Amino acid sequence: MSSLELIAVIFSITFTVLAIKENIWCWAASTISVSIYMYLCITAKLYAETGLQIFYLIMNVVGFYQWKFKRKDQEILQLSEWSLKTHIILFIIGGIGIYILASGLLKYTDAALPFVDSFTTVFSIIATFMVTRKIVSNWLYWVVIDAISVYMYYIKGFQLTSFLFIVYTLLAVWGYYQWRTEYGEKYIDHRA
């Protein structure tokens, strides 16, 4: 465990707790953690994860903007949900993305765990987009992604980060409960 890993873990947990509470400062906490994880992942030869951290950095700006500013034709972004059909399409696209990314990693790099790395990367991109749009079921995606990340980071010697993903898995369950409850209350109140 390095001091950099510890700092990244602290800011990662801060991001998740603030995101669950729909606090816009979650994006600042994430910017700090992903900046550190970019360095840690490249040194561990987790190249897809390194790319994912760069994606997260960009999405921090997008998420902040979408949470902060309303569009001319809309109110401030509210919790919402996608149809089962949309999720099935995302699973198919995700599977194709995993295959393409893992194939590239196998062919062109010395990547460690290319299929696991590709799975967590591709579905993290999908789930992150869902967070920026406040899609309630994003938390279910994170439960699976985080559980698999526990294994990946443990194998690569990042025990503290592996523990972080255990915490993330639990926080994702809590996040889903919180957002589902709030979404249900607003939907019921709106229909009444």
The one-character DSSP state at 135 is: B
Q: What are phi and psi of 53, to 5 degrees?
A: -65, -40
DSSP, residue by residue, 153-184 = HHHTT-HHHHHHHHHHHHHHHHHHHHHHHHHH
Q: What are phi and psi of 153, to 5 degrees?
A: -70, -35
Q: How do the pLDDT tens digits run along the chain, 192 residues long?
A: 689 999 999 999 999 999 889 899 999 999 999 999 999 999 998 899 999 999 999 999 998 988 888 666 666 778 899 999 999 999 999 999 999 999 999 999 999 899 999 999 999 999 999 988 899 999 999 999 999 999 999 999 999 999 999 999 999 999 999 999 999 877 655 544
Provide the whole-model pTM.
0.82
Residues sharing a CB contact under 8 Å with residue 92, sequence separation 6 or more, in sequence order: none
Q: Rounded to whole angstroms, how far apart are CA atoms 6 and 150?
A: 16
- In contact, 18 and 58? CB cutoff 8 Å: no
Residues sharing a CB contact under 8 Å with residue 85, sequence separation 6 or more, in sequence order: none
- In contact, 86 and 21? CB cutoff 8 Å: no
Q: Rounded to whole angstroms, how far apart are CA atoms 102 and 83?
A: 28
**pLDDT score at 2:** 87
